[in-house]
Chain A
Amino acid sequence: MNPFTYSSATAVEDAVRDNASHEGAAYIGGGTNILDLMKENVARPTHLVGLNKLPLTAIEPTPEGGLRLGALATNADTAWNEEVKRRYPLLNQAILAGASPQLRNMATNGGNLMQRTRCYYFYDTATPCNKREPGSGCGAIGGFNRIHAILGASEQCIATHPSDMCIALAALAATVRVSGPNGERAIPFEDFHRLPGNTPERDNNLEPGELITGLDLPAKGFEKNFSYLKLRDRNSYAFALVSVAAALELDGDTITDARLALGGVAHKPWRDQEAENLLKGQPATPETFARAAAKVVESAQGYGSNNFKIELARRAIVRALKQAAEGSQHASDVFLNSNP
């Protein structure tokens, strides 16, 4: 860990200005990821801008009838917010499926979007990694890649984005609000994270110095028919091997609207609109679900230790859609419902 300076901002403009005025500065929210990366010498910020005093912890209605989640609200406060539980139980379930209570108490919504991959090689400076050190090679391709991507990977990088929360946000089509040296902008969730391509060092489309200020959820919350299904190596405190956020709107047995996003399979939360289109207007049957699942994994590719994810993802999609159609999952303080 290198020496660094620290300041704590109380206003968004100050935070952005402070960040811009230090070469190599970084923001710090809950610190549950960036501190680990600093200890491992993977992140070497010269200056940290503390965000926890920013007035961005509120969770409140938007004029459009949706809900705005402050970037500095903790993951725990967000999951247990009454409006989130009532209107966006899919988000509640996804957050509670992640990390541990202690981590969720510290982790912020902005930090969750920005958390970096858990690729073993990325964390270990003794091994090559194009994401950490562009051009050094990828240790995971041809190495131990059990937790790596099967969709949208590149020859440079096969890392996954590790978040659970973001999978629900992708399915719900949230909008990311940011503020930066060049002012404010809103980024549709699908355009926020990137595929690795030839620039695996870039996880997302945030410009240098930009600060996430909030997340806007649209009015539609799929509160009746949803499922967040997470498959992992232990029942808590483990990242998803494969996770599925499924949300349906039903008219009788007919699917009128559908959302489908996967975690643990790609460099970004993997929403598949083509598969969603295969669901819409169709009866909510196992056959329909299987067609959508087949579509999602159509272009999937394994890299050795993660080959199993292709079949696992296919099965998980079918199960999640089935659970969503049954309306068997509910918001709760304990993540139990969809734990297979």
Chain B
Amino acid sequence: MSTTNYIGKPTSRVDGPAKVTGAATYAAEFHVPNMAYGWVVSSPIAKGRITKVHADEVLAIPGVLEVFSHENVPGLAWFDRNYKDDVAPGGSPFRPLHEDKIKFNQQPIALVVAETLELARYASSVLRIDYEEEAHETDIEAKRDEGFEPGRGKSGWMPPPPPRGNPDQAWEEAEHHIEHEYVHGAQHHNPMEMYGATVEWRGDKKLTVYDKTQGVVNVQNYLTKIFGLSKDDCRVINQYMGGGFGSGLRPQYSVFLAVLASLELKRSVRVTLTRQQMFSFGHRPHTLQYVKLGTNPDGTLAAIQHHALHETSQFEEYTENVVNWSGMLYQCENVKLGYQLAKLDVFTPQDMRAPGAATGSFALEVAMDEMAAAAGIDPIDFRIRNYAEEDQNAGKPFSSKRLRDCYHQGAAKFGWDQRNPQPRSMRKGNRLVGYGMAGGVWDATQKKAAAKATLTADGKLLVSSATADIGTGTYTIMTQIAAETLGLPLEAVTFKLGDTDMPEAPVQGGSWTAASVGSAVKSVCEAIGEKLLKLAQKMEGSPLKGASIDEVEFVNGQIRLRQDPDNAVVIRDVLQASGETKLETDTSATPNLLKQATHSMHSHNAVFVEVEVDEEFGTVHVTRVLNAVAAGRILNPKTARSQVLGSIVWGISMALMEETVMDHQFGRYMNHNYSEYHIPVQADINDIEVLFVEEEDDVVNPLGVKGVGEIGLLGVAAAITNAVYHATGKRVRDLPIYLDKLL
């Protein structure tokens, strides 16, 4: 038996020590000589025109270097396509400081650059700007009837499948039916680390850009296209990230402005945003959903109808998959799904953890609970009766799906049988107790990614890829995969990421990094393995002579015959004997489309929640959560569990606290800070438990992983809503469940 078996074992973060000792350097922390500081001036109005920027007044302050605005920004790339980043939605991307028009509140309208941060901040506070204000519309309620179907959305977006069966008639004729509207407001990602970029001017239009981003390659492509730089002259680096959650998929205006200022001033420049400015860009869109469900006498679903309408900006058509899941999670012959956008004077929404599915699963899974109650069936039983054995949207079988086990194992562990189905039937003192459950489905995706590996004579392996670790544990699992593949101790392996000088990888999002970059890391290490074997066979008296790669294994720092493990050579000796100082190679891994074309690939989960609600005050306490997740093979139960724990906290947040409140008088988000935009604190979180129901799946990718960054969030808000209903008998259909909704 091999002892160096890392995959599947709980492993602590390899980047943990650097993070907790402060050795990890973040984008806005790099110190470069002779740096100037930029401060962003944000628009105080939602719509209008800038008539004058009184730059001369602040340029008179000693130490102020420049005020950049549309009045003086040099001619840059002209076409929209130059501003389209790799994950941009359809439409015309926002160009900072491009024109006098104000299109959304808090739009960056000027950058003041000075010798010190304090001076730049002060100068921007006294910079006078004249406006002509125009009437704005920021309220989706006013656009209810002006929804339109989006054209070509961003990559990964799928228009809802066409209706199947006879959804209207089936709903009308169903034995029981329900129809309700479900709503949540805008939510902002709010990672701890604010956006910022440090641009190092290396002379002669050569830049090193330290930028907070989920994809250095995306930022490099964006910058080089706009500023006409060669890739060699625009290196983008981001090794650590204080949270992203999707907010860093697209290049932020902070990096655009920092590069602009650096090129114009021929100097290193840093631009960081404030917490308030973290509410000036993408967000989970305010969404209105309408769900109609009907059941047959045997408790099977007669009809599913799900329609969603959400906001987008005036200039881009942001799309996410909100309703498609409803045609896939349950077996049903009569399905109608609709999806529309409404244009508002706001910035373009942006993918936020489980984009679309977090929204859609909330509506569908609350509706399922309402339907189960109307039909008098236990919510788990109801879901099992309607279990989808295949993906009816695609007409394909699932590559693997153990959702049924999630229901059974989760229910048993949670103690679902203790639930009295009657609402308001369970209590503890002043508190009503409720149990609720829900679940969800998410994509298992693999994208093309590349990696490079270097094995040196001292037996140390360096692997790199231009991917990101937004806190998910990428560093750790890639180190595990490499160590496992080549049978090296973990300590002998270093994984590096976040640098455009490294082999290309996609942005980190969609829970595809483990599958995509993981496959590339596995593949590049296998390539090193093959080279090693060849060299080993050249060694004098090599016991491996004539063995094929399949006949050997890499274990405990050795290459040995599978059939005869005593016949082995030490990897370090191989290199030394060969006289090579190092072995180096790079490869890329692409999805096996042939294999995948015939399957639908998804992760699933089931969430069980206990709440206690103060009967008189409506305060909700989530006392227990159990999340059963089927997401293929779990590479590292420790970091995977952390991902799901974080998702559960997020779900509690979504259910009870989070909402960016727009005051439509001003077209402005008013709770734009950590004090008033509420997310849970320690005191709000009680028992949470994660249960992985592992799946074997050789279709999704060679590692059999589906990714766990997002699936854990699905169904959490719905399960809490359902538990609150069970506790109180009150059905809340608009999040968050503030206490006043239960009074």
What residues make up the interface of A, taking CB atoms closer than 8 Å to B? Answer: 1-3, 39-41, 100, 118, 120-121, 123-127, 139, 142-144, 146-147, 231, 233-238, 241, 308, 311-312, 315-316, 319, 340
Whether B671 lies near A233 (C-beta < 8 A) is no
Q: Which 7 A-B pairs have the closest CB atoms?
A: A126-B44, A308-B740, A235-B683, A120-B670, A236-B683, A340-B614, A315-B616
Whether B666 lies near A126 (C-beta < 8 A) is yes
Whether A231 lies near B619 (C-beta < 8 A) is yes
- Please give me the residue from chain A that is nearest to B673 by CB atom: A123
- Please give me the residue from chain A that is nearest to B431 by CB atom: A340
CA distance A236 to B679 in the complex (A): 11
Point out which of A1, A100, A308 has the most chain B C-beta atoms below 10 A from its C-beta. A308
Starting from the known contacts A139-B663, A235-B683, A236-B681, 13 additional A-B residue pairs (CB-CB under 8 Å) come to: A1-B125, A3-B122, A120-B671, A123-B673, A125-B44, A127-B668, A127-B670, A144-B661, A234-B684, A235-B621, A235-B684, A312-B743, A319-B617
Whether A312 lies near B666 (C-beta < 8 A) is no
B242 at the A interface (CB under 8 A)? no
CA distance A121 to B663 in the complex (A): 10
- Please give me the residue from chain A that is nearest to B275 by CB atom: A39
B680 at the A interface (CB under 8 A)? yes
Q: How far is the CB of B657 from the nearest CB of chain A, in Å?
A: 6
Given contacts A143-B665, A312-B739, A340-B430, contact A319 B616 (CB under 8 A): yes
CA distance A144 to B671 in the complex (A): 9
Residues of B within 8 A of A316 (CB): 617
CA distance A40 to B125 in the complex (A): 9
Q: How far is the CB of A118 from the nearest CB of chain B, in Å?
A: 7
CA distance A233 to B684 in the complex (A): 10
Residues of B within 8 A of A236 (CB): 681-684
Q: How far is the CB of B663 from the nearest CB of chain A, in Å?
A: 5
Whether B668 lies near A126 (C-beta < 8 A) is yes
- Please give me the residue from chain B that is nearest to A242 by CB atom: B617
CA distance A195 to B672 in the complex (A): 27
Please tell me which one of the listed residues A40, A41, A234, A315 contacts residue B681 in the complex, with CB atoms under 8 A apart. A234
Residues of B within 8 A of A147 (CB): 676
Q: How far is the CB of A143 from the nearest CB of chain B, in Å?
A: 5
Whether B683 lies near A231 (C-beta < 8 A) is no
For window 683-705 of B, CB contacts with A under 8 Å fall at 683-684
CA distance A236 to B657 in the complex (A): 13
CA distance A39 to B39 in the complex (A): 13
CA distance A13 to B80 in the complex (A): 65
Given contacts A2-B125, A124-B668, contact A233 B681 (CB under 8 A): no
Whether A139 lies near B666 (C-beta < 8 A) is yes
B563 at the A interface (CB under 8 A)? no
Q: How far is the CB of B280 from the nearest CB of chain A, in Å?
A: 12
What are 14 sample pairs from A and B whose C-beta atoms fall under 8 A apart? A1-B122, A1-B125, A3-B122, A118-B675, A124-B668, A139-B663, A143-B665, A234-B678, A235-B621, A236-B681, A237-B681, A238-B678, A241-B739, A340-B430
Residues of A within 8 A of B121 (CB): 1
Please tell me which one of the listed residues A2, A124, A231, A319 contacts residue B122 in the complex, with CB atoms under 8 A apart. A2
- Please give me the residue from chain A that is nearest to B126 by CB atom: A2
- Please give me the residue from chain A that is nearest to B106 by CB atom: A126
CA distance A312 to B743 in the complex (A): 8
Residues of A within 8 A of B616 (CB): 315, 319, 340
Please tell me which one of the listed residues B125, B617, B663, B670 contacts residue A41 in the complex, with CB atoms under 8 A apart. B125
Residues of B within 8 A of A100 (CB): 681
Number of A-B residue pairs at CB separation under 8 A: 90
Residues of A within 8 A of B118 (CB): 1, 3
Q: How far is the CB of B345 from the nearest CB of chain A, in Å?
A: 15
- Please give me the residue from chain B that is nearest to A142 by CB atom: B665
For window 555-572 of B, CB contacts with A under 8 Å fall at none
CA distance A127 to B105 in the complex (A): 12
B416 at the A interface (CB under 8 A)? no
Residues of B within 8 A of A238 (CB): 678
CA distance A1 to B105 in the complex (A): 21
B290 at the A interface (CB under 8 A)? no
Residues of B within 8 A of A234 (CB): 656-657, 678, 680-681, 683-684
Please tell me which one of the listed residues B676, B683, B739, B740 contacts residue A118 in the complex, with CB atoms under 8 A apart. B676
Q: How far is the CB of B347 from the nearest CB of chain A, in Å?
A: 16
CA distance A3 to B684 in the complex (A): 40
Q: How far is the CB of B222 from the nearest CB of chain A, in Å?
A: 29
Residue-by-residue, is B290-318 near A (CB-CB < 8 Å gives 1, otherwise 0)?
Answer: 00000000000000000000000000000
B738 at the A interface (CB under 8 A)? yes
CA distance A144 to B738 in the complex (A): 15
Residues of A within 8 A of B657 (CB): 233-234
Whether B740 lies near A312 (C-beta < 8 A) is yes
Residues of B within 8 A of A118 (CB): 675-676
CA distance A312 to B122 in the complex (A): 43
Point out which of A118, A124, A308 has the most chain B C-beta atoms below 10 A from its C-beta. A124
Residue-by-residue, is B112-130 near A (CB-CB < 8 Å gives 1, otherwise 0)?
Answer: 0000001001100100000
CA distance A146 to B740 in the complex (A): 10
CA distance A340 to B614 in the complex (A): 6
CA distance A126 to B638 in the complex (A): 46
For window 629-683 of B, CB contacts with A under 8 Å fall at 656-657, 661, 663, 665-666, 668, 670-673, 675-676, 678, 680-683
- Please give me the residue from chain A that is nearest to B46 by CB atom: A126
Residue-by-residue, is B717-743 near A (CB-CB < 8 Å gives 1, otherwise 0)?
Answer: 000000000000000000000111001
CA distance A241 to B671 in the complex (A): 15
Q: How far is the CB of A316 from the nearest CB of chain B, in Å?
A: 7
Residues of B within 8 A of A142 (CB): 665
CA distance A127 to B667 in the complex (A): 11
Point out which of A125, A146, A233 has the most chain B C-beta atoms below 10 A from its C-beta. A233
Q: How far is the CB of A91 from the nearest CB of chain B, in Å?
A: 21
Residues of B within 8 A of A144 (CB): 661, 663, 670-671
Q: How far is the CB of B129 from the nearest CB of chain A, in Å?
A: 12
Given contacts A308-B740, A312-B740, contact A233 B678 (CB under 8 A): yes
Residues of A within 8 A of B676 (CB): 118, 120, 147
Q: How far is the CB of B568 from the nearest CB of chain A, in Å?
A: 56
- Please give me the residue from chain B that is nearest to A125 by CB atom: B44
CA distance A298 to B663 in the complex (A): 29
Residues of A within 8 A of B125 (CB): 1-2, 41
Whether A233 lies near B738 (C-beta < 8 A) is yes
Q: How far is the CB of B669 from the nearest CB of chain A, in Å?
A: 9
Point out which of B105, B125, B274 has the most chain A C-beta atoms below 10 A from its C-beta. B125
- Please give me the residue from chain B that is nearest to A306 by CB atom: B740
CA distance A224 to B412 in the complex (A): 46
Residues of B within 8 A of A340 (CB): 430, 614, 616-617, 619
Residues of A within 8 A of B661 (CB): 144, 146
Residues of B within 8 A of A1 (CB): 118, 121-122, 125
Q: How far is the CB of B652 from the nearest CB of chain A, in Å?
A: 10
Residues of B within 8 A of A121 (CB): 670
CA distance A142 to B664 in the complex (A): 10
CA distance A72 to B291 in the complex (A): 58
CA distance A121 to B619 in the complex (A): 26
Q: How far is the CB of B422 from the nearest CB of chain A, in Å?
A: 24
- Please give me the residue from chain B that is nearest to A147 by CB atom: B676
CA distance A319 to B618 in the complex (A): 13
Point out which of A142, A237, A241 has the most chain B C-beta atoms below 10 A from its C-beta. A237
- Please give me the residue from chain A that is nearest to B430 by CB atom: A340
Residues of A within 8 A of B678 (CB): 233-234, 238
Residues of A within 8 A of B668 (CB): 124, 126-127
CA distance A311 to B740 in the complex (A): 9
Q: How far is the CB of B449 from the nearest CB of chain A, in Å?
A: 39
